[in-house]
Structure 1
């Protein structure tokens, strides 16, 4: 769970680091969005492989290697802050942190009773999203207080230390099947077929992808810049309000893990609520100048999204044979993060249409970008009939 915490921490840290680096280096919004999305390119492409490796080698070993690679990425960012090094930093951390989500959920699926899976999934996701919270206002404060070199040097050391601890604790998780290279390819192929042939699995993956893509484009990249541009607040204040999104996700994952009843009904209601809250957030941002109202609604967007993510993970777990859970979860994550990449690039391109100078954005651009995002979320409701218990 600690490794999963860092996967969210480094994922969302772009919302603090990249806008400032873009301004310093004279990068456009589209370029900043592309650099941020490199994390998700690497993360997405390796998801099926990570899931298959978890099934074969066990999560502890795979996650240990990932944390070591993450540490290398942090060192690279410290040494040479250029557009190229920023891109390599995001790429390496995406590769390194790719195994964390499926590894944590697969480990708990094998270590605890299945009826407790939603509860433990909620706790795991809450810990992960705590990393997102810490990576906004607290990270911004630390960077201002101690500087980038000191902060990211410490983060690199922690990454290497965690990798070493996982190696010491290593060994296969009970239930791993082992196998060679051909079996890895076979596992990934079977995972893709499992999702393709299951309408409920396809629908959960699609809806999950839409909500997470919107959330990460907002929380993980543009929230701080949007709040600054629209409400004329300080960077510190914008970070504090953006942090509320992550706090909402934590609350939602904890609450979602305790919900009982029809899984399909909970998923439909959670998704619909998130969509309504996105509409409310846009309306408030367009019609008022109240950061309090918009920031509070951002908290609620995170809350509803957190509920859906826990229930979505539980649905994938229930719809998949135990021997294929790692590979199927990894394949589902691939499809989800293809959406994340598209949303990161797309929002950056739309926001850039109203960019006055590099790093300085107009509120209209954010309204357009997330208006399109909200329309896509609304379109997801057309697939509700395919959700069934």
Structure 2
């Protein structure tokens, strides 16, 4: 390819039904939280189907980490958008989200989930599977994104930053420092003519999405206070929670608690019971909002309340991602931006490694038995190349079996 030539897209466009099928499979098998989800996505979309490469995938992960909202769901939304346009993005979101949302609504209506010795063991087994999934993601991405001493060092420093600094400060700080280090130290490995991943979003559409994001953030509290329709109040509360949280996952819980428990819409006991159930279902933890919307005493409640809550908590992150993508495409073609992203991508590997330790490993590996099961699952993934969904079944069965023997 000659200098200045337009790089062809890396991704062959597919059909929305294909995206729906792939993400429905992920939606019923992706246990373990947002970091584990990135591992599942990589295994299914990057390794098996080769929709794009590890570098482009990590770029999307890094961008989603920068933006407020549910990071893993934003990555899934972006992958669907990349593969089949706006319809594909919606298909990816619905397929990945609805299975866990339906389970959370069922739990809100009184269906007991994961109770008793065997149920608790299955839940523990699913957490152990997450250890193997995240370890596989760290292993695979490190080989591609940290091939030299500089980027490997950036990854290590990012992991230290994420582990030693609390919460979002450590995560965002790790990516920012990684990006700066890449800009200073990784210029000798850039490729100005590299192929680009071209998202089907125009600048006008991006600006519109950003304007809608800001407009709703400002207008919803006013409209909720002025109108008598109760549905606006929960939509406003869930929209603000989704708009103001970085990194997604468990970070959203304090905001949701402030929105529905402190206001008296849901009792503390109901909130904690739903949070426990959310650990036992696949998919995004943000679907906890469906449970809260179902039980909320303000608004319609029930299935309609769940739909309002889900729309409110996911919408701001998707508006932000869509709004930023067309400008990110342009920046990514520049040599300086490539150097910056190389450092940020190395930092993403460090973040994954940090998350592998805490909370994934520290939560799931509590004795020798869980460690042995995690190693078995890891070998099944890496050496035997067993599909992730099948390894999930192995982990769940192993966890249940261990619970019977240990009481």
Give the TM-score, by structure 1 length. 0.30
Query: Which is helix-richer, 1 or 2?
Result: 1
* Bigger-Rg structure (1/2): 2
